Amino acid sequence: MRPLKRIKTYLKASYPCLFSLYRDSRSRAKWWAKKSKRLDLCAAQFAYMMHYTGNPFKDSICLELGSGWVLSHAILAYLLGAEKVYATDYFPLADLTALRLSINSSDAALIRDILAPYEDHEILREKIENIKSISNWSLSRLKSLGITYSAPIDLTIALEFNDGEFAYSLSVLEHVPCEDIEAVVRHLSIIPNQFHFIHLEDHADLVNDPFEFLSFSNYPKQLQLERGNRVRASHWMKVLSQFHDVEVIHAWKRDMPIPEHLAPEIEFIDADDLRTSHLGVWLKQY
């Protein structure tokens, strides 16, 4: 590990209140709102999922895990006809001013066209015009759309929302600390239909060194929350299949260097597991 990188890793692990990725940051929210949390880009993510699942939001009570700084996906669930949406997070990160930026930075026609195979085009038009007309977002405004924001929540203790019919997450489960995974999956098991995009790379350097974290022998909870828990695809399948029938939609791999020496905590160390970078799973009740 390069010296500067080593220092950053140490600071984040030792002083999370000062150096945590999850500290309050409005500028971070606005950055995401203009990038991957833009509403039209998020619509494409859901369209990819719905190519396999159909529209799981329609007339359903939905649970979003890890809604993050910008509640774009919760808004999309509303557009797609969800009866109710629980947008939840482990940290209270949501910045509602960034939500307006996400919506206004997007191409409304593109959102309609992307989602039209899964919801009536004219209904989409009316709903998009409605959200674009909202200049000041608030929790009460969200409530009027059927969206309840709840953070912080701790899924290791219990699932507060027992009426959920569909749960989804995008690049969230890999941030659940290893010691908490069993409890989180068990509490979520009451929701019959789920879809999770799990990103298995080192979030500290996705481009150049996506598997570096597999070598760290000292890997505390704070680094798991930020860089990823290092759990490999086969481990996820083993845990998730305890409660649901699991269909793997994708298991993408990257041809990037794997550390010569792996941390002893890493399970499932065959080449396929180590190089799997993205896992998409559709969970259905047995």
Q: What is the pLDDT along the chain (286 residues), one digit of tens a residue?
A: 555 555 555 555 454 444 455 555 567 899 999 999 999 999 999 999 999 999 999 999 999 999 999 999 999 999 999 999 999 999 999 999 999 999 999 999 999 999 999 999 999 999 999 999 999 999 999 999 999 999 999 999 988 888 999 999 999 999 999 999 999 999 999 999 999 999 999 999 999 999 999 999 999 999 999 999 999 999 999 999 999 999 999 999 999 999 999 999 999 999 999 999 999 999 999 8
Which residue type occupies 266? I
The predicted pLDDT at position 150 comes to 97
Report how far Cα 210 is from the mean position of its chain's Cα atoms: 18
Separation between Cα atoms, residue 149 and residue 70, nearest integer Å:
11
Separation between Cα atoms, residue 97 and residue 101, nearest integer Å:
7
The H-assigned helical ranges of the chain are 3-14, 16-19, 26-34, 39-53, 72-79, 96-104, 108-115, 121-132, 139-144, 181-188, 221-227, 233-240, 271-275
* CB 53, CB 94: distance < 8 Å: no
Neighbours of 125 (CB within 10 A): 15
The predicted pLDDT at position 26 comes to 63
Beta bridge pairs of residue 168: 64, 195
Q: By CB neighbour count within 10 A (0-12 exposed, 13-18 middle, 19+ buried), where does 286 fall?
A: exposed
The predicted pLDDT at position 18 comes to 43
The predicted pLDDT at position 215 comes to 96
The predicted pLDDT at position 27 comes to 75
Which residue type occupies 198? I
**pTM, rounded to two decimals:** 0.92
SS3 content of the chain, % helix, strand, coil (to 5): 40, 15, 40
